[in-house]
Chains A and B, each alone.
Chain A
Amino acid sequence: MASLIGFYSLVFGACSSLMIIFFSLKNFKNSEKLSQKIIPLTFLQFFLVFISFLGLIFSFVYSDFSNETVFNHSHTTKPLFYKISGTWGNHEGSLLLWLLVLTSFIFLFVLRSHKQPIQYRLLTIIFQEVIIIGFFVFLIKTSSPFNYLYPIPEEGLGLNPILQDPALAIHPPILYLGYVGTSIIFSSALSATSVNYISKEWAKHIKMWVLTSWFFLTLGILLGSIWAYYELGWGGFWFWDPVENVSLMPWFALTTLIHCILVLEKRSQLTSWAIILSITTFTLSMSGTFLVRSGILNSVHTFASDPERGLFILIFLFSLIFLSLFIFFFFHKHDNNKKNSFFLFSKETSILINNWFMMYFLSVVLVGTIYPIFLDVIASEKISIGPPFYHKLIVPFLIPFLLVMAIGPKLKWIKSDLLDKLNLIIFFAISVLLSIFIIKNLDVEFLTNSILLSFIFYLFFVTVRDFFIGRLNNLSQNIAHFGFSLFLLSIIFNNMLSTEVITNLKVGDTFQSEKFKIYFENLDQKKEKNFKSLIGKFVIENSEGDTQIMKPELRIYNQPNIVTSEAYIKTNLFSDKFMTMNYVQNQEYLNIRYQIKPLMIWIWISVVIIALGGLISVIKNNEN
């Protein structure tokens, strides 16, 4: 029943989208004021999709296995929380979530843009509806979440256990708010280009959307990364996996866009940048969907590798790309009267420089992600690109990037002298000395590490100082930049100081190293509703004689039958102790992996601080 309602409200939702396009077009010809039909219709469209989404949630909660999606991804023994999160833990449901966010955003946009020119609003609605209809068709035609099964199976197949996790349950909705938020920016940029409205006013108005999307995208990536840290059990937080990369690329583009919008708002410059980045951000979000959903990349996100679905997204994606290229090249007018005068020492120049660096980082990640696919097509050769590629290409360029990031905010718009020179030089000297001192005492490669660390410290000190001298008119920027320096500091120390032991142990065995001793005390069994677990008890004694107990876990899920390894993590402000155990076939012993990861928690905290910078900016903007 719920499925039936869900399906029909989806169909009616698609009809309402067509009506919105029809009325918007009619209104566009005669555009004195916004047609009264449009606001109710966008609400209706959102409401219908919402009902459809509720229908799917209901089917999951009541384990209605006559629904194919529920059958494939749920099970009666699953806890309620995961039944609900199972709604978007699969291809069909997650697309419905996309659509839900898309329709709710266009509704919000219509409500919030009443001060903007009518033609611009209407065109934005039309572009957005084109995207929405594309998703409606995709959903109804190739991936309906409401397929009926007969005979009705008694039991479902269950949700992939590694997806049964609180962080991952909220990761998709948050990430989608970011991804889909970029669709409004995309539609709005295309529409503003068409009616020649790329201006200070437009920048002021779209800034909200850019910042909000950026905030959610940052948090969404963070959640995914935290999940990978404790669930996948490799003890890292970023693996440069293609699926992670496709969420990072829109983030680069969006971060660059924020800075462009600032320049556009203050100086009416970088218009082409703003348009291209708006297009790029959304295109990259869509490509992300394409790459992970078509089965062209293989990963935990590949819910269904169905080439037909991939083909649909691919064609849809490229139609949007060609549409935007067409609009950009034929409608965007370069204002040649206005001189693009950039002085070397000015805020906009520093932003422009770092924009180019960001584009470079973006290209590195892009190449690393899609080159293997292209190579496979052209030369039938399979390669995989790992962390060293990214580290080698990105790290050296971080150095000038950090310098500009530290000094840029100190400069004024248009033309300025570097104020406060003495202090900046003193800070730099302190950073260099401190870094040399630290690196000397560590057993790591000297030159690159100390240069990199100096510049990170420099950004860190400069931003910290700004908090104290009370130059807080740009609080959000300072917080975000400070967060970024903290982020890099945590990463670099984490990298240099991590230790790892991998060994095989039986119950009763002891492993001895210079720094600590690991004793495998016992192995416990426990039964839960949806899995059985084996819990090891390890006593770890360090050289000072402090002992600690670690209890990593192996879970054997019943539906589907999968073994997962749950890391046991002890977190404090200085370091994480991380232990996993793995089953080795036909052996009595278990494979144990013990890691000490300094400053791990600061990586997460600093990303939250970065996101906080965005949030404060959103709030401040709202007040104005």
Chain B
Amino acid sequence: MKIRIFPTIVFILFVIIFILFFKGLKNSNIYVPKANINKEIPSFKAKLFESSEEISSEEIFKEDKFYLMNIWSSWCVPCREEHNFLENLSTEKNLDLIGLNYKDDNESAKNFLKKLGNPYDIIFLDPKGIIAIDWGAYGVPETYLIKNNMIVKKIIGPLNKNLVLEIKEIIR
């Protein structure tokens, strides 16, 4: 059989384009503003979820270990999706999970945790969403991996399997 050269070349060309686009898609997290990474975290004072006692963030992030700050809300659908991954991460010894409950109703937030479990070590309240703005959050959910008061990694959108593996790799 005669192989037609021109169609073959065109075909291969498009396969290459496909692969490049496909890889580009995987890379799309790189659009996270770089300025936010390796920057000192903004400090804040906020009420706690359980006791409504006001605490400064500096007291929380001071130890020499990793912290995962997760901005969540009971009305946020993707938060529900990522909840299992947070539960999974909460078993890590070298990692404390800090929740920031964003623009939420206290009752429904409690129900949310009762139903799905509470992976967080501490939860701050951010009823007006002001702290989230200081952190440069785009929306919920958003997650920051923190060490020595520095943001090591910022994740926009829900966590997934790969991201969880990546986080585990970083903290080990």
| A and B form one complex | yes
Q: Which residues of B contact A307 (CB under 8 A)?
A: 25-26, 28
**CA distance in complex: A374, B22 (Å):** 10
Q: Bound complex: CA of A329 vs CA of B25, how far in Å? A: 29
Give every chain A residue within 8 A of B7 (Cβ-Cβ): 325, 329
- Kindly name the residue among B21, B22, B23, B77 whose own CB sees the greatest number of chain A CB atoms within 10 A: B21
A294-B14 in contact (CB<8A) = no
- Secondary structure call for the A interface: helix
User: What residue in chain A is nearest B105 (Cβ atoms)?
Assistant: A151
Known contacts A151-B74, A318-B18, A373 near B4 by CB under 8 Å: no
Contacts of A310 in B (CB 8 A): 25, 28
Contact of B11 with A325 in the complex, beta carbons under 8 Å: yes
Which residues from A are CB-within-8-Å of B20?
A: 373-374, 377-378
Q: How large is the interface on B (under 10, 10 to 19, 20 to 34, 35 or more residues)?
A: 20 to 34
- Cβ of A68 within 8 Å of any chain B Cβ, yes or no, is yes
Q: How far is the CA of A151 from the CA of B31 in the complex (A)?
A: 32
B165 within 8 A of A: no
Q: Size band of the A side of the interface? A: 20 to 34
Interface membership of B27, Cβ < 8 A = yes
Q: Mark A56-96, 1 if CB is under 8 A from B, else 0.
A: 00000000000010010000000000000000000000000
Check if A294 sits within 8 Å of B75, measured CB to CB.
no
Chain B residues with CB below 8 A from A153, complex form: 75
Cα-based distance from A329 to B23 in the complex (angstroms): 28
Which of B18, B74, B156 has the largest count of A CB atoms less than 10 A from its CB? B18
Chain A residues whose C-beta falls within 8 Å of the C-beta of B4 in the assembled complex: 329
Contact flags A273-306 to B (C-beta < 8 A → 1, else 0): 0000000000000000010001110100000011
Q: Which residue of A has the minimal Cβ distance to B75?
A: A153
Q: A151-B105, A318-B18, A374-B20 are in contact. Are A311 and B75 (CB under 8 A)?
A: no
| Contact pattern, A 371-383, Cβ under 8 Å of B = 1, otherwise 0 | 0011011100000
**A314 close to B10 (CB less than 8 A):** no
Is B127 located at the chain interface by the 8 A CB criterion? no
Mask for A471-508, Cβ within 8 A of B = 1, else 0?
00000000000000000000000000000000000000
Contacting residues of chain B (50-82) with chain A, CB-CB under 8 angstroms: 74-75, 77
Contacts A306-B157, A377-B20 given; indicate if A314 touches B75 (C-beta within 8 A). no
**Are A376 and B31 touching (Cβ within 8 A)?**
no
Are the C-beta atoms of A376 and B11 separated by less than 8 Å?
no
Cross-chain contact B77 with A296 (CB below 8 angstroms):
no
A318 to B17, CA, bound (A): 9
One digit per residue, 1 when the CB lies within 8 angstroms of any chain B CB and 0 when it does not, for chain A 152-167 equals 0100000000000000
Cβ B14 vs Cβ A321 within 8 A: yes
Q: Which of B10, B11, B25 contacts A296 (CB 8 A)?
A: B25
| A147 contacts chain B at the CB level, 8 A cutoff | yes
The answer to whether the Cβ of B136 comes within 8 Å of any Cβ in the partner chain is: no
What residues on A are CB-neighbors of B28 within 8 Å?
Answer: 294-296, 305, 307, 310
The reply to whether B31 and A325 contact each other, CB–CB distance below 8 Å, is no
A322-B30 Cα distance, complex, nearest whole Å: 30
Q: Chain A, 38-59, contact with B by CB distance < 8 Å: what is the 0/1 string?
A: 0000000000000000000000
- Given A318-B14, A322-B14, do A376 and B74 touch, yes or no (CB 8 Å)? no
* Interface residue A149 (Cβ < 8 Å from any Cβ of B): yes
Give CA–CA (A295, B157) in the complex, Å: 13
**Contact between B14 and A377 (Cβ–Cβ < 8 Å)?**
no
Q: Does B108 make an interface contact (CB < 8 A)?
A: yes
Most buried by A among B10, B14, B22, B75: B75
A378 to B105, CA, bound (A): 46
Q: Which A residues touch B105, using CB under 8 A?
A: 151
Contact A377 B24 (CB under 8 A): yes
Q: What A residues does B108 contact at CB under 8 A?
A: 151
A318 to B22, CA, bound (A): 11
Give min CB distance, A355 to chain B, whole Å. Answer: 19
> Please, which residues of chain B bring their CB within 8 A of the CB of A305?
28, 31, 156-157
- Kindly provide the distance from the CB of A3 to the nearest chain B CB, expressed in whole angstroms: 14
A307 to B18, CA, bound (A): 15
Known: A305-B31, A325-B11, A329-B7. A151 touches B21 (CB 8 A): no
Chain B residues with CB under 8 A of A151: 74-75, 105, 108
Which residues of chain B from 3 to 39 have any CB-CB distance to chain A below 8 Å in the complex?
4, 7, 10-11, 14, 18, 20-28, 30-31
The residues of B that contact A147 with a CB separation of less than 8 Å are: 77
B22 — nearest CB in chain A belongs to which residue? A314
Name which residue of chain B comes closest to A290, CB basis: B21
Within 8 A of B (CB), among A303-340: 305-307, 310-311, 314, 318, 321-322, 325, 329
Report how far A481 CA is from B88 CA in the complex, Å. 65
Q: Residue on A with the closest CB to B11?
A: A325
Asked if A311 contacts B18 (CB within 8 A), the reply is: no
- A sample of 30 inter-chain contacts (CB < 8 A) reads A68-B77, A71-B75, A149-B77, A151-B74, A151-B105, A151-B108, A153-B75, A290-B21, A294-B25, A295-B28, A296-B25, A296-B28, A305-B31, A305-B157, A307-B25, A307-B28, A310-B28, A311-B25, A314-B25, A318-B14, A318-B18, A321-B14, A325-B10, A325-B11, A329-B7, A329-B10, A373-B20, A374-B24, A376-B27, A378-B20
CB-based closest 10 A-B pairs? A329-B7, A377-B23, A295-B28, A310-B25, A373-B24, A151-B108, A318-B18, A377-B24, A374-B20, A298-B31
Report which B residues bind A (CB closer than 8 A). 4, 7, 10-11, 14, 18, 20-28, 30-31, 74-75, 77, 105, 108, 156-157
4 additional A-B residue pairs with CB within 8 Å, beyond A68-B77, A305-B31? A71-B75, A153-B75, A376-B24, A377-B23
